[in-house]
Every structure is written in structure tokens, then in C-alpha cells.
Structure 1
Amino acid sequence: MAHMTVPLLMMLFLCTLSSNSSFQPALVLEMAKILLENYCFPENLVGMQEAIQQAINSGEILQISDRKTLATVLTAGVQGALNDPRLTISYEPNFVPVMPPTLSSLPKEQLIRLVKNSVKSDILENNVGYLRIDRIVGEETAVKLGSQLMESIWDKIAHTSSLIFDLRYSTAGELSGVPFIISYFSDPESLIHIDTVYDRPSNSTKELWTIPSIVGERYGKEKDVIILTSRRTTGTAEAVAYALKKLRRAITVGERSAGGSVKVQKIRIAQSKFYITVPVARSVSPITGQSWEVTGVSPNVHVIAKEAVAKIAEFHKGLNSLIQGAGDLLEDHYAIHEVALKVSKVLVSKWADGLYRSVVDFESLASQLTADLQETSGDHRLHVFHCDVEPESLHELPKIPTAEEVGYIIDALFKIELLPGNIGYLRFDMMADIEVVKAIGPHLIKSVWSKIINTDALIIDMRYNTGGYSTAIPLLCSYFFDAEPLHHLYSVFDRTTTTMTEVMTVPQVRGQRYGSSKELFILTSHMTGSAAEVFTRTMKDLNRATIVGEPTTGGSLSSRTYQIGDTVLYASIPNQAVFSAITGKMWSFSGVEPHIAVQANEALSVAQKILESRLLKRVQGKQ
């Protein structure tokens, strides 16, 4: 919060009454004193008392005769100046302050009735527990209730597969209940610092930690928990929701909470009938260094609070078919069929074991499916995403450029340079389709290839090439081999057509070949992917190039996007597998390991130095 400035304070406290009113300037000073001694952000009040005195002495007095209007104006001023809506001033001539007894001091029978009225539990379909708490009881109260609390409420849901924790109507509670509740969702072995509370009146700080020993059985830290929140959720309930969310122990669903306080006090201003409500303590999370106060707890999934349970239940009705649908798509299209069968079975098994009960919408389902697909298959290329608009096809036929576009394409895609020692440098950042290459071929030969063909060695820079089309790879490779014999480059199995194709060099190329004897270096980075990787790996497999740089990304030669059911979920599935022409084994999707591993930004200079040294030795050897 920003410090309250003197001009703002003067505007705020010029709201006093005329001299014939019973409301005296001393009352404003008393209000300032209460804030100085009790407000939980004392650093925001620097210079306040002096500013108020200056405002009173200035004689600029706003004539407000109605006390309630004055209270409203003062409230607006205080809240605006301190940016804190929890501060309120009220005029209550009939207010009788009552100090409610602490819950733990109440008779046991009364406590039991209170808890039964404010706590409800149930077991929903699929062994999902439901726990609603409208008033959070503290540790002392829970201990006093002992086994009765466990038997009537907790034991019903302790053994459920997952839990819906309903805090939508929770508006009161005891601070000691925060670590008490969170302890049930953690392990006793490692205690967690969950909150730090500063109390202004006592100028003291208290740390809240989970508890090593609690009554009854813990829910543990593995089973899924969904917390429901609303605009009414306030105080200690917000502290519980915030901590469990930031510990990644629960998903929050519903509305942003109220943004209350761990502790407020209603204090009478001097002997008047005006009262000021002040947040006297503040919470700071050791997990985030921030607080839920004022701003509230923002849910992971935003829905209208009263619809939260119904929406989760409705979503879960169709969840099984979506998970099975993802598995079916994998079986039909994933390049490695035996892996697809295994993953599909695991998905169904995880659903049956209740491991998808924390999923509450398409976004969380996409995240969970992606994690399970990648973990089970070991293939990081498998990906599920949600998209409200159908994604554009990534496999549309490439557009053949017009004559006017050819020059622009060549300038945009290719960069060439002659380095010292007659070393050629060729960089291109996308693998173009074979039909596009044929269309721009004459211009490409003239403006690019002819300028580096007569170099003594060549560096091909693929560090920024993230892929593209694979159809031109055989032609590109052919320039670095002799016309005869043809070379088997690699084989491709296409799951969609269930065909295996041997990819060979081509017998004829436009222009002059670079040949099979001159040295060739290829530069890579962690961005090098897809078709660029296939070219790089082929040249490495056939011992035709030295690879310098970083391991490549491990992308797909071909991935297609498939819609899961009639939903906004889509699966990106690699549908082709590439096999080495040398070993006959399928290429791993872990990327291409370079011969010489260096940082990508150093790859060019390293390759250049190695080539210069080799070429110099050859020249010296001929002398």
C-alpha cells in the first residue's frame, strides 16, 4: 500500500462540523490516534497526525450536520487515502459492545451444536468426499470436542478418494484453526511454515506452522482436494484457501474471496457514538511473501459460486469418455503402436483409480492428460491443449510463390557469407517444401548456391531452424553426396497409412553438387527441431558432417492435431517414426547429440577455428 500523503489527509479530515455542533475537532484527532495505535499498516500512517492538526487549524470546515452522512464521508476518505476497504466509520447511538466468549470456553454440549450447525460432510458419487465449513474452529476447540468431532464429521470423509472442501459460506473462525486444518492435508514428518501474522496493538509477530500431532487420521498430501470459494468467503477461511492453493495442495474453484482480515476490531472514538472498524493484524505468506487480504484469493477456476458443485459434477459425467477418446486417438495415430496401447490402458486405469477427480474444467484436464501422456510414453512431443476456436491446420499444402515473391523468400530464409580460409557459411531458418524449392530453384542456385559452391569447406547454420517440411530433405542431402551410388538416408513409418518408405538421395540435382569429400559442419541449438533435426541426424549417421553446438529439441518429423470428441480439447500426436539407414533402429526423440558440445552462441567460432586449422594443415602437407 502507498503511504497516505498530506494533501489526501487534509481533504479527508476537513470533514468536521461547525462550531455550534457537538462534534469537536478533538474527535478527529482521537480517530487518528486509534489508527496510529491499532492499524496493521503503521508505515502507511507516517505524518498523519500532523496533517490532521494542520487541516483543523486551517479553518476550512465542511458543514455536515448529519452524523451518518459524516460517517459515510469519513469512511470514503479513509478507505481512499489508505486504499483499504476494510476501514469503516459508523455512527451508532444504540450500539452495545458485546465481547463474545471464545469457542473453547463454551460448554461442550453448546460447542457440539455449534459445530453441527456450521459443518456438514457427505460422500458423493465415485467416493468423492464433501466437507462444508461455515465457521472455522480453532485447535483448542477441536481438541475439546475430541473424538466426537472425528466420529460425526471427519471419519466419514477421511477415506474418500478425493475431497471437495466447501468454504463458500465461511465468514468467521479462529486463527489457530488455520494450521490445524492445513495439517490434515500434509505429512507430519516435514512441518510447513504457512503464515506469519503481525498484531499491531501488541506489536508482536506470530508464525503459524503445521502441527506434528493431530486428533484423528490425516487426509495426507497425495489425494486431490478442490476448495470452493465465493465473494462471502472471508477471514480465516481465506487464509486456509490461500495457503493450500499456494502450497499446490488444492485447486480453488468459484469466485474471488472477500479480501478480509485475520483480525478486526470495532473501536469507539473517544466518548462519542462514532465507531471505527480497524484491521489490527495482517497476514503475510512465507510461501509467496504476499497476502490474500484486501485483494482476496483468486480461484484457479472461475465459476459462479452457487454453481460450483453442479458444474464440477456435470463436467465429471463426460470425463471418462474424454479420457478414453484421448487414448483412442493415440491408438489410431501415434507412430509407435505398442506404446500407444500401453498409454491408453494407463489413462483408463488412472481414471478408474480416481486420479482425475481434481480435474474441474477443460484447462485442468488438458494439463493432466499432457502430463500423463508424456510420463507414460516418455515422449515429450505428445501434447493436449484446449482452444475455444478450432486451430488452423498445420498441414495445409504450401503456397507456391509467385515470381515477385521469390526474391523476398530467398532474402528472408537464406543468409550466406564467405569466411576467411575460403570457408562458406550458409544459414537458413526453415525447411521449405520440395515444390517451393523447385519453384525458387533457379534463383536459389544463382543468388545463394553459386556463391558458396567453390569454397573449400562449408558451415551450415541450423541453430535457428525449428523445422518445416521434410519433403526437400532428400534433395538437400543429395548436394553433399556424389550422384552414384544413391545413398539410403533413412526410412519413415507413417502410422496413418501404415506404410514404410525408404528415403534415398536423388540422382539428379539442379546446378553443381558440393560433393562428398569437402568438409561439412552443421551448427545446432536447443531450438533446432523437426525436419531440421532429420537432416542433421542423417548427415551425422552417414558420417558426412561434424555437428557442433547444443543437443537439438527432439521434435517430430510429422505431428497432426486431432480433436478429442466434440470438445475444445485437441491432441498433438506424432504420427511418423524415423528409422536409421545405418542401424535400422528408430531414432530417439531425445534430440541429436552434437559431436562437439558447446553453447549455441559459440558454435560458429568453434567450427570456424577447427576448419581453419584443418585446412591450414592440408596446405602445409602439400608443400
Structure 2
Amino acid sequence: MTPLTNPQPTAVPAPVSAPAPASVIEETTRLLTEHYVFPDVAEQLTTLLHRRLAEGAYDVDGAEELAHVVTADLQSANNDRHLRLRHHAEPVPAEEGAAHLAAVRRDFDTSLGGVPRVELLDGGVAVLELAPMLFPLEWAAEPLSAALTLASRAQALILDLRANRGGDPDTVAFVCGHLLDERTHLNTMYWRAGDRTEQSWSPPHVLGTRFGGTKPLYVLSSATTFSAAEELAYDLQQLGRATVVGERTRGGAHPCEGWTVHPHLEVTVPVGRAVNPVSGTNWEGTGVQPDIPCTAPDALTRAHALALARLAA
């Protein structure tokens, strides 16, 4: 008979202290003042957050509730959906952008690199779903190139962005390169840092085979399509290259960066804004307006019917 032994005590991680509202607000307003692409709005929000702190509005129960209340105040001035205090259930690294990058990598590894669906429908119409986001190009170039090359043989293509919540502008340009015939100016970014602009162009050459710029192309959208996914839809729509089918998108055109202000809280601050070379503006606040409005669940059926009719004609 094996003698009983005393089990070794299991180490219990030290609990993370509740966020001190004053500390979180002080760091949040500092980041706003230094980085927000609209300095005048940053000044307004700094005044608002300090006033709300003094009124006790942030004396709430825990980090998640604090994130909710502060985010509502941050977005109250101009409804900038990229400007927020995000709660993370797991502790996040202190390095700039590390919290976001860790979550993105988990999504990449569980979504076939951001291309969870490639399917051929009746009539030679392919469906290519890009979700849950457009991942950093150094990760996504291989799976995207493989999927786009496979779809290049189709007679028409439906690009499904209904479940895509954003991502990397360089990846937007990469995808556009497969859907156009030549290098094309897609977007111009204004960055507050250095008061500079930077143009985005589709690449002159692509990995694999292009679908090209003449065959029918449809983009599916929903009310949750956001950020870089909206740019992809908007760029193709403004160029007259694609027909957008579905719902008006969420409306976020400002690229942002993230900073950890508490082990469970990350402030994301827009540091630039998009200017489309065709429209002279962007989709911030308004979303991308579909060419063919319909509910998101009906968008695929509607786009497939449109593609078949166009091919038949």
C-alpha cells in the first residue's frame, strides 16, 4: 500500500489590483494629447474626462465596467469608434501594441490565416471569405495568395467581408493587387506624427495569379464590417471595380495604436485618418454605403444571383 503524502501547495497567482480611476484617466488623457489625430478633440475630451473623474463617474465596480463608461465618454465628441478603453479578460503585456498583437495571433492561428472559406458556387462563381480580420501581411501573404490564386480561375468572385472586423492596410493593398490589372492608387493616410501623408498603392506584381480587373466582382458587407475591411470595400467601390452588397458598414476610418494602462485595460487612440483619392474623403462615421442594400444574411444569395445574371448577359 502506497503511503499517503502531503500534496505540495499550489502556487496561487497574486490578484491583479482593481484599476485606480485617477491613474487610468491621467494616462488616457496623456495619450490623447500626444497622439490623437484630432488635437482639438483631444483637448475637449481631456477636459471631459477630468470633469467626469471629479464627479465620481468612474467610481465603478471593476475594470470591465470602467472600460465601458470611459469608452462611452471617449466616443461622445465625434463618435470615433477606434477611440476606446478596451477591457481584456487576461492580463496584457505592457509593451505598446502587445495586447492587440497577442489576440490577433490567436485569431490567425485558428482561421486558416484569415481565409476560412473558399468555395465554388453554381455558374463558376467563387466565394472567398476573409475573416475575422485582414492579418499583418508578413503573416497573411501566403494563405491569401493561395486562396486568391485558386479563386482567379472563377468567372466571377464574391468577396465576403461580413464578419471581418479590420486589420492591416498593407494587406488591403495586397488583396487589391489581385483584383486589379495594374498598380493603382488606393488611399492616402495622414499621420499626426510628423504631420505627414503616405500613399497606399496596389502592388505592381503579385504572388500567384491575378483574378484581374475585368471579371465581375462583388463585396459582401454587414453592420459589423469595420476598419481595414471597410477600406477594402470602399477602395474597390470608389474605383468602380466592385459592387458592394449587404448592409452599411460600421464606420471606422482612423488607424489606431494601443497602450496598456492597467493589466486588463488598453487605450486605443487613432493616430491617422484616411483620404480616398477618388472621393476626397472616407467612410468615418458614415460607413460604406452598399450599392445593393439588403440584410447581411441575404447578401450572398443576392450577389450570386447578380453574378449569374451578369455572366449570362
Same fold (TM > 0.5): yes
Q: Could you say which residue in structure 1 is the equivalent of 2:190? A: 198
Deviation at 1:23, TM superposition (A): 4.6
**Cross-structure match for 1:182:** 176
Q: For residues 84-105 of structure 1, give each alpha carbon's deviation from its aligned partner in whole angstroms, at most 9, with x where no partner exists.
A: 24333356696323453699x9
Alignment partner of 2:296 out of 294, 305, 330:
305
The match for 1:32 among 17, 25, 29 is: 29
1:181 Cα shift?
Answer: 1.1
- Quick one: which amino acid aligns to residue 283 of structure 2? W
Q: Alignment partner of 2:59: what SS? A: coil
Partner of 2:5: none
Inter-partner Cα distance in structure 2 for 1:217 and 1:78: 44
Identity %: 27
Residue identity in the other structure for 2:177: S
SS in 2 for 1:33: helix
TM-aligned CA deviation for residue 246 of structure 1? 0.7
Using the size of structure 1 for normalisation, the TM-score is 0.40
Conservation of the 8 A alpha-carbon contact between 1:86 and 1:294 = no
1:24, distance to aligned residue in structure 2 (A): 6.8
- Counterpart of 1:229, as a letter, is S
Cα distance between partner residues in 1 of 2:138 and 2:268: 27
> Which among 126, 134, 137 is matched to residue 136 of structure 1?
134
Once the two structures are superposed, residues 28-78 of structure 1 have per-residue CA deviations (whole angstroms, 9 ceiling, x without a partner) of 4432211111222224334665x469959xx97347632455554433332
Q: Which of 232, 244, 250 is 1:240 aligned to?
A: 232
Q: CA deviation at 1:141?
A: 3.8
Distance in 2 between residues matched to 1:248 and 1:37, nearest whole Å:
38
**Aligned counterparts, 1:289-300, within 5 A:** 289-300=280-291
> Could you say if the C-alpha distance between residues 90 and 200 of structure 1 is closer, same or farther in structure 2, counting changes exceeding 3 Å?
same
Are positions 1:250 and 2:242 aligned together? yes
Q: Which amino acid aligns with 2:270?
A: P
**Relative to structure 1, is the Cα distance of residues 91 and 153 closer, same or farther in structure 2, using a 3 angstrom cutoff?**
closer
Alignment length (residue pairs): 287
User: Per-residue displacement from partner, 1:122-173 (whole Å, max 9, x unpaired)?
Assistant: 2221111221111324544455x3xx765x5233321222111111122243
Q: Name the counterpart of 1:77.
A: 73
In structure 2, give the amino acid aligned to 1:298: Q
Residue 117 of structure 2 is matched in structure 1 by: 120
Q: Determine whether 1:276 maps to 2:267.
A: yes
3-state SS of paired residue (1:136): coil
Instruction: State how far apart, in whole Å, the 1-side matches of 2:49 and 2:116 are.
Output: 50
What's the counterpart of residue 170 of structure 1?
164
The answer to whether the 8 A contact 1:227-1:252 is kept is yes
Secondary structure in 2 aligned to 1:184? helix
Alpha-carbon distance change, 280 to 65 in structure 1, aligned in 2, over 3 angstroms:
same
8 Å contact 1:260–1:294 — kept in the other structure?
yes
Return the alpha-carbon distance in structure 2 between the equivalents of residues 92 and 139 of structure 1: 25
**TM-score for both structures, normalised by structure 2:** 0.75
1:263 Cα deviation after fit = 3.2
Whichever residue aligns with residue 165 of structure 1, its letter is L
1:277 deviation in Å? 2.9
State the distance in 2 between where 1:253 and 1:89 align: 32
User: How far apart are 1:115 and its partner, in Å?
Assistant: 3.3
**Contact kept in structure 2, 1:67 and 1:91, CA below 8 Å:** no
User: Structure 1, unaligned stretches of length 5 or more?
Assistant: 1-21, 320-350, 357-623
Two-structure CA RMSD over aligned residues (Å): 3.8
Distance 1:355 1:183, change over 3 A: farther
The one-letter amino acid of 1:247's match is L
- CA 1:93–1:312: 2 relative to 1, 3 Å: closer
Task: Report 1:40-55 matches (<5 A).
Answer: 40-46=37-43, 51=47, 55=51
Following the alignment from structure 1 to structure 2, what is the Cα–Cα distance between the partners of residues 234 and 168?
Answer: 9
Distance apart, 1:117 and its partner CA: 6.2
CA 47–85 in structure 1, closer or farther in 2 if over 3 Å, else same: closer
Distance 1:24 1:173 in 2: 30
Deviation at 1:223, TM superposition (A): 1.2
Change in Cα spacing, 1:86 to 1:229, as seen in structure 2 (3 Å) is same
Q: Is structure 2 residue 155 aligned with structure 1 residue 157?
A: no
1:492-503 aligned at under 5 Å gives the runs: none
Structural mapping, 1:475-514, within 5 Å: none
* Residue 180 of structure 1: how far off its partner (Å): 1.1
Structure 2 spans left out of the alignment, 5+ residues: 1-18
- What is the SS of the residue equivalent to 1:292? coil
1:482-528: per-residue Cα shift (whole Å, max 9, x none)?
Answer: xxxxxxxxxxxxxxxxxxxxxxxxxxxxxxxxxxxxxxxxxxxxxxx
2:60 to 61, 66, 73: 66
Aligned to 1:257, the other structure's residue is in SS state: coil
Q: Which residue of structure 2 aligns with residue 220 of structure 1? A: 212
Rounded Cα–Cα distance in structure 1 between residues aligned with 2:194 and 2:230? 23
Change (3 A) 1:47 1:63: closer
* Structure of higher CA gyration radius: 1
Counterparts of 1:130 and 1:250 in 2: how far apart (Å)?
14
CA contact (8 A) 2:245 2:293 kept: yes
With over 3 angstroms needed to count, the CA separation of the structure-2 counterparts of 1:242 and 1:315, relative to structure 1, is closer
Q: Is the CA contact (8 Å cut-off) linking 1:86 and 1:279 kept in structure 2? A: yes
Distance (whole Å) between structure 1 residues aligned to residue 89 and residue 307 of structure 2: 54
Matches within 5 A, 1:375-386: none
Asked whether the 8 Å contact 1:198–1:204 carries over to 2, the reply is yes
Deviation at 1:194, TM superposition (A): 0.9
CA distance in 2, matches of 1:84, 1:297: 15
